[in-house]
Structure 1
Amino acid sequence: MDVVTIGETMVLFTPNTTGFMRYANQFSMKFGGAESNVAIGLARLGHQVGWISKVGNDEFGKALVSFIKGEGVDVSRVKVDQTLPTGIYFKELRRANDVRVYYYRRGSAASALSKVDLDGEYIAKAKYLHVTGITPALSDSCEDTILEAIEIAKMNGVQVVFDPNLRRKLWSEEKARSVLLNIASKADIVLPGISEGEFMFGESDPKKIAECYLNNGASTVVVKLGAKGASYYTNKDYEFVPGYPVDQVVDPVGAGDGFAAGFLSGLLKGLCLQDAVKQANAVGAFVTTVNGDVEGLPDAEEIEGLFNNINQDVDR
């Protein structure tokens, strides 16, 4: 197994029309969750990836597990809760560049994840464990589950990749800072954005944000800069890697997950940090051009074609 990730995926409803959701009378059903987005992104790029989660014993849970399995992700460690429901959320497309998300996840099956739901041998066989700051915010048992998974990974030489993915509405600021800082201290690689650096350390400068995470225990930090690109930092060097221009951003939700998938894929393929970040930027850019969390994730052929076209333009 190349990567194992843990977290909640929900059913996503999006109005078929733009504008205020109050006027919508038809919705399309899709699926989304940061961790499964990353898993699907990696699977499309040709990697073996497993997703650990919990869903309700309902039609929504059955549908989303079937969908994720169909995308090539191993779902053999997904548990079914007989009493709690699968979470749902709504994405409101008010106008261009104005997308709003509303979650209905309190008391969901995934919020009841616990350490007993983990398969230690399964995690131990992976090259990377990918976790985000969303899952520990769902409940105390979810926090314990993530910390236990990290301990299993570290005991078995599995690299831990952490995307803070801050969700302010899920918990208090004090609790969020404490837990996210603790997880970041145990991670090998951290993938923050500027807003998360401001929240965690009161810093908006990418280099200072990276220094804070490096001093906290990480060995590699990649600071995401949105459309501008990203900068990577280690204790030895750092470099800014420009992003890819997008003619029109249709839906920015999920771009950070695409970035994580592209970056991990680069590491798995043995790329240097610069090229891994370059690929991460490309995958993130692809995601923004399509409505939906995973619908815009590219496959390996598309990424290779993009880089070939760029290289040809440079040679001319």
Structure 2
Amino acid sequence: MSVTGRAGAADVLTLGESMVALRGSGPLKLGGSMDVSIAGAESNVAIGLARLGHTARWAGAVGEDEAGELVLRTLRAEGVDVSGATRDPDAPTGLILFEPRLPEVTRVHYYRAGSAGSRLTAAAVESAFAATPDAPRVLHLTGITPALGPSALAACRRALELAREHGTTVCLDVNFRSRLWTEAESAAVMRSWIPYVDVLIASDDELPLCVPETTAPGGTAAALAKGLLAQGVREVVVKLGADGATAYGTDGELHAPARPVRAVDAVGAGDAFVAGYLSALLDGEDVAGRLDRAVTTGAFAVASHGDWEGAPTRSELGLLGAGPGTVVR
């Protein structure tokens, strides 16, 4: 599978909520310093793609506040096109707090109810599609955005309709969040989206949310992927964490092991994986090449602190092949 380029078209359009991110040095109740950044699954992917040399457009809503300005300023600085973003004068930019509690445990606290991001509109999505004469080559959605509220859900549905009208490839990362909605609520939406989806990316425990209920119980990842392929999905990519990833397509399945790195922060690894996969897809790489780049960009994220800060540039992709103690001059 490859994505044909069109002159003037953005490589990828993605939409969702980006928030101000505060990372504490320890338990929040003890106070202390916090690092300020931004976070959001879709903007993480956009940054990852931009660093790899692709044109990525982010459509989202932020408040008319300094927090919203930080989101837009950071994305612009990372080379992401924010011409499709909107400012909501009646709702604030969302907030996320990261609280390191144990060496391997970080607690996350969200303050996003009623945020500008949850009020993203279908009209804003239409404007993002129309920002250039040609439609984007790829539309990337996650299962997070539709869970934010009715308006965001309607915006996602409109994006899928526009993608179909324009022949845009659709990539969906299921990204289930139990704090936002139930499995039943997620499944109802994910299953209704499947007819629009070309590339489905999910962890093995998220796959059942995407197939008919009569198929899901007890099904293996391979069986569930086969069912999704039968429904018209072209590729099903299953993220397996430290065990790598497996891609299923009409030509069979292919597994790629994870790249060994010293893990320091797993936050954002899935988004980095998606960015790598889409990057290679845009470059016309075969399945093996797409998986290789995806596990590589995922490894960079795991080996770095932050949601997106460790995303590699194209010239850095080969660094993981360097031996321990290597000094790059």
TM over 0.5: yes
Q: Give yes or no for the alignment of 1:298 onto 2:312.
A: yes
Distance across 1 between alignment mates of 2:181 and 2:12: 28
**SS of residue paired to 1:192:** strand
Tell whether the 8 Å contact from 2:186 to 2:209 is kept in structure 1 after alignment: no
Q: C-alpha displacement at 1:4, in angstroms?
A: 0.5
- 2:16 paired residue number: 7
The residue identity in structure 2 corresponding to 1:173 is E
Distance across 1 between alignment mates of 2:302 and 2:219: 24
Tell whether the 8 Å contact from 2:60 to 2:120 is kept in structure 1 after alignment: yes
The residue identity in structure 2 corresponding to 1:121 is A
**SS of residue paired to 1:296:** coil
Q: Give yes or no for the alignment of 1:58 onto 2:73.
A: no
Q: Give yes or no for the alignment of 1:68 onto 2:79.
A: no
The residue identity in structure 1 corresponding to 2:130 is E
Cα deviation, 1:241-295, whole Å, max 9, x if unaligned, reads 1110112x21111100000000000011111111111110010011011211011
The residue identity in structure 2 corresponding to 1:296 is G
Q: Give yes or no for the alignment of 1:259 onto 2:276.
A: no
**SS of residue paired to 1:55:** strand
Aligned-residue RMSD, C-alpha: 1.6
The residue identity in structure 1 corresponding to 2:66 is E
Alpha carbons of structure 1 residues 295 and 233: separation in structure 2 relative to 1, 3 Å: same
Q: C-alpha displacement at 1:79, in angstroms?
A: 0.4
Tell whether the 8 Å contact from 2:17 to 2:61 is kept in structure 1 after alignment: yes
**SS of residue paired to 2:264:** coil
Tell whether the 8 Å contact from 1:197 to 1:204 is kept in structure 2 after alignment: no
- 1:147 paired residue number: 157
Tell whether the 8 Å contact from 1:258 to 1:283 is kept in structure 2 after alignment: yes
The residue identity in structure 1 corresponding to 2:276 is G
5+ long unaligned stretches in structure 1: 311-316
Correspondences of 1:227-266 after superposition (within 5 Å): 227-247=242-262, 249-266=263-280
**SS of residue paired to 2:101:** strand
Q: C-alpha displacement at 1:162, in angstroms?
A: 0.3
* Identity percentage of aligned residues: 38
Q: C-alpha displacement at 1:202, in angstroms?
A: 3.7
**SS of residue paired to 2:130:** helix
- 1:158 paired residue number: 168
**SS of residue paired to 1:100:** strand
- 1:283 paired residue number: 297
Distance across 2 between alignment mates of 1:22 and 1:228: 36
Pick the structure with more helix per residue.
1
Q: Could you tell which deviates more after superposition, 62-71 or 169-178?
A: 169-178
Cα deviation, 1:2-24, whole Å, max 9, x if unaligned, reads 00100000011111x23x32223
The residue identity in structure 1 corresponding to 2:51 is R
TM-score by length of 1: 0.92
5+ long unaligned stretches in structure 2: 1-9, 211-215, 324-329
Correspondences of 1:32-43 after superposition (within 5 Å): 32-43=39-50
The residue identity in structure 1 corresponding to 2:84 is R
Tell whether the 8 Å contact from 1:99 to 1:251 is kept in structure 2 after alignment: no
**SS of residue paired to 1:191:** strand
- 1:194 paired residue number: 204
